[in-house]
Amino acid sequence: MQPGGNLQEVYSRLVSALNGLDSTGIKFALKEGIGYLTFCPSNLGTGMRVSCHMKIPLLAQQPNFEALCKSLGLQARGVDGEHTESKDGVYDISNIQRLGKTELDIIRDLAKAVQELIGKEQKLEQDAERASKAETPEKTEATEKTRD
Binding residues for ATP: 49-53, 77-82
Instruction: Report how far residue 57's alpha carbon sits from residue 52's, in angstroms, rounded to the nearest whole number.
Output: 15
In sequence order, what are the residues at sequence separation of 6 or more whose Cβ sits closer than 8 angstroms to the Cβ of residue 50?
7, 11, 94, 95, 106, 107, 110
Instruction: Report how far residue 59's alpha carbon sits from residue 123's, in angstroms, rounded to the nearest whole number.
Output: 9
Q: Which residues belong to the annotated binding site?
A: 49-53, 77-82
In sequence order, what are the residues at sequence separation of 6 or more whose Cβ sits closer than 8 angstroms to the Cβ of residue 51?
92, 93, 94, 95, 110
